[in-house]
């Protein structure tokens, strides 16, 4: 009996002394998280996002990778994904978590924005939004504050094309702008078109011929003259 108790005590002591092995996936996630934080502080937001995404895949139940993903996506101007990852973080922590208020604020701000996508024919036109040069088409803004904007696309050899658009919170607005060639003839008045005067001359000749034919008969077939005064026009007396 004493031998049995002694063996149990030895086994228990060995269990207590044995080091607890960490989950290799979580260890790898921590490495990616550390790299991501270093990249974020260096303002390499693309590299940071890649590291945080890898951390979240390796440790999907841990909240911190989602926090950093949301913060990085705000820096990248992608509020749509930031809203999702802020929600992922908040669903994994207690309401009194000291980091929660920051992510609640991020989510509220991003929910006031929408997506604006602009392309043009031809492509690679310089794009202005409310008189501010923003880049070239195709253009994509993932975190546009909700509101009305004036878009103008310009390209050498083409007439500018513009329009006003409304970006709604949580929505996506897709706009296409067509630029007409600058050499294309503008719409001309009808009197300046090539066919107008020949048609007028032909019509006048036809009217003259009709009058001549109508007045070429006997005296009885000649229409009475028309007299006009201030009261109007009426057949006169021959």
Render pLDDT for 141-178 as a digit per residue (tens, 0 to 9): 988 999 999 999 999 999 999 999 999 998 999 999 99
| 121-150 residue pLDDT tens | 999 999 999 989 999 999 999 889 999 999
Instruction: At 17, give phi and psi (nearest 5°).
Output: -75, -20
- Give the tens place of pLDDT for each residue, 184-221: 555 555 555 555 555 545 554 444 443 333 333 433 33
The answer to whether 79 touches 142, Cβ cutoff 8 Å, is: yes
**pLDDT level of residue 183 (50, 70, 90 thresholds):** confident
Complete DSSP assignment for 32-59: HHHHHHHHHHTT-HHHHHHHHHHHHHH-
The DSSP element (H or E) to which 129 belongs, if any, is strand 126-129
pLDDT at residue 170, rounded to an integer: 87
How confident is the model over 110-124, as pLDDT tens digits? 999 999 999 999 999
Q: What are phi and psi of 29, to 5 degrees?
A: -65, -40
Query: How does residue 238 score in pLDDT terms, banded at 50, 70 and 90?
Result: very low
Identify whether the C-beta of residue 160 lies closer than 8 Å to the C-beta of residue 179: yes
pTM of the model: 0.60
Q: Which residues contact 79 (CB under 8 A, 6 or more apart)?
A: 73, 109, 110, 111, 113, 142, 143
Please give the share of the chain, as a percent, with pLDDT higher than 70.
68
pLDDT, position 2: 52
Structural domains of the chain sorted by starting position, each given as residue range(s) with its CATH number in brackets? 21-110 (1.25.40.10), 113-178 (2.60.40.1120)
What pLDDT is attached to residue 226? 43
Q: What is the mean pLDDT of the chain?
A: 79
């Amino acid at each position: 009996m004493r031998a049995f108790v002694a063996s149990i005590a030895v086994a228990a002591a060995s269990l207590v002394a044995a080091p607890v092995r960490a989950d290799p996936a979580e260890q790898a996630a921590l490495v990616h998280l550390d790299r991501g934080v270093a990249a974020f502080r260096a303002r390499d937001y693309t590299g940071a996002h890649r590291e945080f995404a890898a951390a979240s895949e390796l440790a999907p139940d841990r909240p911190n990778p989602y926090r950093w993903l949301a913060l990085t996506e705000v820096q990248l101007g992608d509020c749509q994904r930031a809203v999702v990852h802020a929600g992922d973080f908040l669903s994994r922590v207690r309401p009194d978590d000291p980091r929660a208020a920051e992510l609640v604020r991020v989510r509220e701000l991003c929910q006031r924005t929408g997506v604006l996508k602009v392309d043009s024919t031809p492509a690679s036109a310089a794009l202005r939004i409310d008189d501010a040069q923003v880049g070239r088409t195709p253009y994509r803004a993932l975190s546009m504050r909700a509101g009305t904007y004036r878009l103008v696309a310009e390209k050498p050899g083409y007439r500018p094309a513009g329009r006003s658009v409304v970006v709604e919170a949580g929505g996506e607005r897709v706009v296409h702008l067509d630029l007409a060639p600058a050499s294309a003839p503008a719409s001309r008045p009808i009197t300046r078109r090539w066919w107008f005067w020949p048609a007028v001359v032909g019509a006048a000749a036809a009217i003259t011929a009709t009058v001549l034919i109508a007045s070429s008969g006997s005296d009885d077939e000649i229409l009475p003259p028309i007299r006009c005064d201030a009261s109007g026009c009426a057949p006169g007396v021959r």
